[in-house]
Structure 1
Amino acid sequence: METHHRIAVLCALPQEAEPIIEVLHGIERSSRYGTDLVTGQLGEASVVVCVGGMGKVAAGAAAQMLICEYHPDALIFSGIAGSLNPLLEVGDIVVGRSLVYLETNNDIIAECDPFLHTYASDDRLSALACQVLGEQGYRRVPSLAETDDIATAVAATDNDSNRRYTLGTIATSDQFNTDPDVLERTRRVWHGDCEEMEGAAAAHVCAKNRVPFLAVRAMSNRCGEAYADLNRHQSDMTLAAQNAGAAVRAVLSALHVAQIHHA
């Protein structure tokens, strides 16, 4: 018997959501609790896409709303991020094996349910994301947690024209960080492959509710660039949003071969 999944896709920005919305059938649009929502169908997956806004509070609130209102079998965060891993260029992708809060006392946070210092994407969904990225022509490269010799790894990929992805760490910050010392600490302490402003909060809420989670982030820039400068090259942001969206669409289309269970 076929399984039909209700999947929630959360994005911070409209341009991150549009590559997913544009392939849905039978869409209906609404606005609730300060978010924009689109429901529709993609293959066997019944999908709700939410534009929740930027920042941890917005992401956490939107994730909880989606869980309460739509009871999804899984929640996927799709969007753009700044690269911290030197192997990842604009358009390349991080599948979030783990997600961590920056500027937060994680020991204190971990005293409460779900009692975690960091948060994780669901193993089955991560494996499915890696599979579809390989099918789309991406080549897997080491995460910062997987290599101590990043310079050699960079040299080995200098003439590699393939798109790349890694299964790595997404660092979630309240800041758009540009300070080299702050960014280097994120690489050194947390092995952060990219930095953004929502993922760990959405993953935290999903862990608290025992809802399988997946984060897919495409690189729109290298961390260290000022936010005002990023806004001057919209084409890179568009490319990143399209690549993340294409990966998530492929995951949604392939869900008929994946088993998703609440923990």
Structure 2
Amino acid sequence: MAIGIMSALVEEISYLLEKIEIRRKETFAEKSFYIGTIAKEEVILCHSGVGKVNAAMTTQILIDHFHVRSIMLTGTSGLLDTNLKTGDIVVSKDTVEHDVNFTHLGDKLGEIPGMSVYVYEANPLLKKIALQAGKGMKGIKVVEGRILSGDQFIASEDAKLNLRERFQGTAVEAEGAAVGHVCYLNKVPFVIIRVISDEADDTAPTDFRAHLEVVAVHSQLLILRILKGIAALKSKKRINNQSH
């Protein structure tokens, strides 16, 4: 069983595509899936396209067709936490769909009617490995936080403040909570790794375009370090099992 690694944009996995030893490529629903190994770990790389529907569909394909054992979403995001800066990385504690609003029916903001939860928690072990791996990244702050998702690009100081106050978000993007939602329903472990590309303010569109390719490498470097951490953990377990 492989680890699914996905992003919204090809630029957000381009570095990992250079690192993978590809065995084959498959296509489903106009999405390309690259099957191979990185750091001795079996992986499937793919970019879903932008937005929650694309992300949810791609996540379900990874689960149903490829039977992945876990999923990591990587890519860029807008800044909500003023203690961070462009190029820093947020590892998901949990994730919420900020654009869901059924409050007129008595549900909480972000809550989907009929769902028992609306805050999707990242897998504790994947999160721990990610944060540990982040300690070795020089000049890049790696923190745990809440990642908000909605089918919109946040480019307003008022919207940014509103999201931070209502949801206590650390970063905002357009796919993470959809991945968390699908993984929760399928009982598949996940974690989201997001690098800050802009400050979700009036200059966000310009900043995003200017920073995309440069900062996207940061989160992919962390993914690579996570894969090495997973391989090391598995090796340690094998040694411990052999010693008993």
Q: How does 1:134-213 map to 2 (within 5 A)?
A: 134-137=135-138, 162-213=139-190
In 2: Cα distance, 1:38 partner to 1:95 partner: 24
Q: Normalization by structure 2: what TM-score?
A: 0.87
Question: 8 Å contact 1:124–1:258 — kept in the other structure?
Answer: no
2:114 is matched with which residue: 86, 111, 115? 111
Q: How does 1:62-73 map to 2 (within 5 A)?
A: 62-73=58-69
1:255 is matched with which residue: 230, 239, 243? 230
Report how far residue 81 of structure 1 moved: 0.6
Partner of 1:224: 201
Give the aligned residue type for 1:135: G
Give the aligned residue type for 2:52: K
Deviation per CA, 1:107-150: give whole Å up to 9, x if none.
452623xx21211110000000000110223xxxxxxxxxxxxx
RMSD: 1.7
Q: Normalization by structure 1: what TM-score?
A: 0.81
Partner of 1:132: 133
- Structure 1's unaligned 5+ residue stretches are 138-161
Partner of 1:49: 45
Question: 8 Å contact 1:34–1:52 — kept in the other structure?
Answer: no
Report how far residue 101 of structure 1 moved: 0.7
- Seen in structure 2, the aligned counterparts of structure 1 residues 109 and 129 have a Cα distance that, compared at 3 Å, is same
3-state SS of the aligned residue for 2:65? helix
The number of residue pairs the alignment matches comes to 227
Mean Cα deviation higher: 162-171 or 101-110: 101-110
Matched, 1:214 2:214: no
Partner of 1:33: 29
Mean Cα deviation higher: 96-105 or 29-38: 29-38
* Larger relative contact order, structure 1 or 2 (CA cutoff 8 Å, min sep 6): 1
- Structure 2's unaligned 5+ residue stretches are 235-244
Q: Equivalent pairs: percent with the same residue?
A: 26
